Structure 1
Amino acid sequence: MPKLLSQTLRLTQLYKSGVIRHHSHAAFSPSELTHFGALASTWWDADGPSRLLHQMNPLRLSFIFDTIDQYQIPGLTRTTGLKMLDVGCGGGILTESLARLPRTRSVIGLDMSDGVLEVAKQHMKQDPGLVFGNKLQYELCALGDFPVPESKSFKGEATEEQRFDVVTMFEVLEHVPNPAAVLQAATERVRPGGWIFASTVNRTVAAYLTTIFIGEKVLRLVPEGTHSWSKYINENELREWFIDNKLSVPGTGENWDVVRSEGCVYVPFKGWQFGGPRNLGNYFLAARRRE
């Protein structure tokens, strides 16, 4: 049995072993960009290659706001709404949905694929509310290159208003060469009491069979080559990255709590649903920065 199946490894250990490769600015690899760029023209086809993303979108939204409501953080109850950053936004399926919500103050979508981001910008123009609402903008940029808010406080820290209330990374970490760097970059852009929401896939035999063998090769629910099993990240590895490493945002010394994690499965004719073990296949995870 492959070593990765017989051991529980942290992200730092994976990085050292070479499974998670180094890449400047935590960027997508050229092959990943080429793959997703080829899907640009069909991104908004709900019955096309990105249909599973369309079907997952309601689950993403409910996970974000149900989690925030459940933990009732006074600092996040803004009259002006939440300031959000969507990392790896692709064609903007989630980003647009967030921007339409009255609870949202503003949304920035980041992606490194010029072709896919152009699709997002063109699709946004179909909704006058998005065009003239000034709540949504897209940036062709890696998260590591996206500016960290400049300091205005005497301690040399970015102020609360400069950072984001919510950073989302759905179906992103399994596509980058160095997910630890992406996570670190995300933490530096979240304000005290703010959130990181992520979804990815466990590195298990079951996940390989469902997402790659059946999903790509047999049923062709997604284009072949979309996933790489070696890049999958076990739920306990992602959890331990936040907990065991005592991660802190530079200049603050404040740590993070993993407050929610849910397994999710794709049910034919019903779509994505929460359920099943969170350490088996796909899962969602929410981490909150301590105030």
Structure 2
Amino acid sequence: MSATQETTVDDSEIAKFEAMAAEWWDPHGKFKPLHMLNPTRLDYIIDQICAEFGRDPKARAPFAGLRILDIGCGGGLLSEPMARLGAEVVGADAAARNIPVARIHAEQSGLNIDYRHTTAEALAEAGERFDVVLNMEVVEHVADPLVYLAACQQLLKPGGLMVCSTLNRNPKSYMMAIIGAEHVMRWLPKGTHDWKKFITPDELFDLLRKAGLDPVDRKGFVFNPVAWSWRISDRDLSVNYVTASIKPGSVGG
């Protein structure tokens, strides 16, 4: 599928991720930070979905009957766990080279995931609807965050849940995400992130409300360089953080 004429895709941002596409499933490659963060992201996502839809995370297929969109799915690091939990998963990415990588890995893992080269705007225009939209580390890469989030809101059924994570904009995030991750640790290629496009938690809550969503939660993802691990924090949203928001209406799950 191709994008609609009106899209928030930033071609220069897409090019960055296309260049790294083959490395998505290498835990020691350019996506090492995401592999390290992924268990913490999954903990938050699973908790929020179970709370919103009354699911038991210990059940055999707790997300059975839920339709989940992983927008900006990359190689499928979140799509695959959602499928294993029983959800019907659509993984969408504007970077064409990510999709074959994701499809091959899903096939090798015995998972049935509907991966598509498309955009949030195109999916919304096609009338696609989901119980959950996972919108992780994408909003800081789009050309117009409000237009993009409005498209994501359209993609939700009434009562649906969106989990959205991004990076705060302050001196600490510049030091950690730009200087630290790209220049010192070299976890990411230089230029992966544009600090000016980072969004503060208050700004994101305001954007979510303007897009027609009700923000209900926000937490920080905090890296501990001594333990070399991530954790969820109620208070520290200074660098990486995540939000949950609901589309008004009755839960459809």
Shared topology, TM-score over 0.5?
yes
TM-fit CA distance, 1:147: 4.4
- When residues 59 and 91 of structure 1 are mapped into structure 2, their CA distance, relative to the original with a 3 A threshold, is same
Distance in structure 2 (CA, Å) of the matches to 1:238 and 1:114 = 27
- Within 5 Å, which residues of 2 pair with 1:68-217? 68-71=49-52, 80-102=64-86, 104=87, 106-128=88-110, 130=111, 134=112, 136-148=113-125, 150=127, 163-217=129-183
- The letter for the 2-side match of 1:107 is V
Q: CA deviation at 1:99?
A: 0.9
What is the identity, as a one-letter code, of the residue corresponding to 1:69? C
TM-score (norm 2): 0.87
What's the secondary structure of 1:52's corresponding residue?
Answer: helix
Give the conservation status (yes or no) of the 8 Å contact 2:70–2:133.
yes
Q: Quick check: 1:61 aligned with 2:18?
A: no
CA contact (8 A) 2:52 2:161 kept: no
Pairwise mapping of residues 16-27 of structure 1 onto structure 2 (< 5 A)?
24-27=6-9
Preserved contact between residue 236 and residue 279 of structure 1 (Cα < 8 Å): no
Q: Give, in whole Å, the separation in 2 of the partners of 1:236 and 1:278.
A: 14
One-letter identity of the residue aligned with 2:146? A
Give SS of 1:215's match: helix
1:209-288 equivalences under 5 Å are 209-243=175-209, 245=210, 247-248=211-212, 256-268=213-225, 269-275=227-233, 277-288=235-246
| Identical pairs, percent | 36
2:200 alignment partner AA: N
| 1:169/1:288 CA distance change after superposition, 3 Å | same
Supply the AA of the counterpart residue of 2:40: L
Structure 2, unmatched stretches of 5+, are 56-61
Aligned residue number for residue 13 of structure 1? none
In 1, distance between residues paired with 2:151 and 2:235? Answer: 29
Contact 1:265 1:276 in 2 (8 A): no
The one-letter code matched in structure 2 to 1:94 is L
CA separation of 1:277/1:226 partners in 2, compared to 1, >3 Å: closer, same or farther? farther
Amino acid at match of 1:138: Y
**Alpha-carbon RMSD:** 2.2
Q: 1:118 to 1:61 in 2, by over 3 A?
A: same
**Larger Cα-atom Rg:** 1
Contact 2:40–2:221 at 8 Å: present in 1 too?
A: no
Gap regions ≥5 residues in structure 1: 1-22, 151-161, 249-255
Residue 56 of structure 1: how far off its partner (Å): 1.6
SS for the counterpart of 1:44 is: coil
Distance 2:171 2:54 in 1: 38
Quote how far apart the aligned CAs of 1:163 are: 2.1
Offset at 1:261?
Answer: 0.2
8 Å contact 2:45–2:163 — kept in the other structure?
yes
Change (3 A) 1:194 1:218: same
Assess, with a 3 A threshold, how the Cα gap between structure 1 residues 145 and 197 changes in structure 2: closer, same or farther.
same
CA gap 1:241/1:73 in 2 versus in 1, 3 angstroms:
farther
Q: Structure 1 residues 263 and 80 mapped into 2: Cα distance closer, same or farther (>3 Å)?
A: closer
Cα separation, partners in 2 of 1:44 and 1:237, compared to 1, 3 Å: same
